Amino acid sequence: MTYSYVPGTCNLGKAEVRRRQFVALLGLFLSGSTAIGLIGSDAPASARWGLFVPLMVFSVGFIQSRKKFCLAYGFMGTFNLGKLGDISRVQSPEDRRADRKTALSILAQSALLALVLSGLFVVLPL
């Protein structure tokens, strides 16, 4: 499957999507190990909010890989559809504006997902 740059919709190629999937898995591993550590140490429920950061790593990687859109590239006005490191600039100001809007949306969605998952972990009687 080949991807093409679509302003505000797709700014990642296959290799970059795989990289975001790896980040999501890394965030999931960090979240799991943090959760086990918090439960095993009998930390107070409020300390469980510390799970937000690794869950944010997971959320950002997951949402970017699903949407095939990198929020950092969106903010910088770039895209990469080829080999890793083969970054191109977005030329049109309208396209850059659409990319920034999508990047903000992904950031908000990621924060909301991480917040909800963290909140669930805080209220669970573990």
Spell out the domain ranges in the chain.
Answer: 14-123
Q: What is the mean pLDDT of residues 89-115?
A: 98
94 pLDDT exceeds 90? yes
Please, which residues bridge with residue 10 across strands?
Answer: 6
Question: For residues 61 and 63, what is the distance between their CA atoms, to the nearest angstrom?
Answer: 6
pTM: 0.92
Q: What is the mean pLDDT of residues 73-98?
A: 96
pLDDT tens across 4-48, in order?
A: 999 999 999 999 999 999 999 999 999 999 999 999 998 898 999
pLDDT tens across 102-111, in order?
A: 999 999 999 9
